[in-house]
Amino acid sequence: MIQTYIVLILSSIIFVTVIIIAGKAINQGIAAKRKNNNKKIESNDMLEEEANHNKEIENLSLTDELEKINKLYKDGLLNEEEFTKAKNKILD
């Protein structure tokens, strides 16, 4: 009879230990998944910021080019047809 109690107690201790170890592993997995999701969000934010920055640079370049040809047109170095062609080329 005592042997049965000893086996039950040892089995219970082993069972509880396995449950605790499994719980820790599950918590680590959940934490790793959250961390990975946060990295993806940060990465997407960085990509979005870079795309916005590139658009700003592109817009500045377009603006600069349009200002240059406008100045050439106003200075009389380009006629209206040349100005229109250059403007359309920049905008396309």
Average confidence score pLDDT of the chain: 84
Residue 77: predicted pLDDT? 85
Please report whether residue 63 resides in a domain. Answer: yes
CA distances in angstroms from 16 to 5, 32, 66, listed in the order given: 16, 24, 74
Please report whether residue 42 resides in a domain. Answer: no
**Residue-level length of the chain:** 92
Please report whether residue 19 resides in a domain. Answer: no
Please report whether residue 66 resides in a domain. Answer: yes
> What six digits make up the tokens of 53?
């920055």
How many helices (DSSP H) and strands (DSSP E) are in the chain?
2, 0
What is the total count of domains within the chain?
1
Give the residue-averaged pLDDT of 11-20: 91
- Supply the pTM of this predicted model: 0.43
Least confident of 61-65, 69-73, 84-88: 61-65
67: Cβ–Cβ under 8 A, 6 or more apart, which residues? none
How far apart are alpha carbons 41 and 75 in whole angstroms?
50
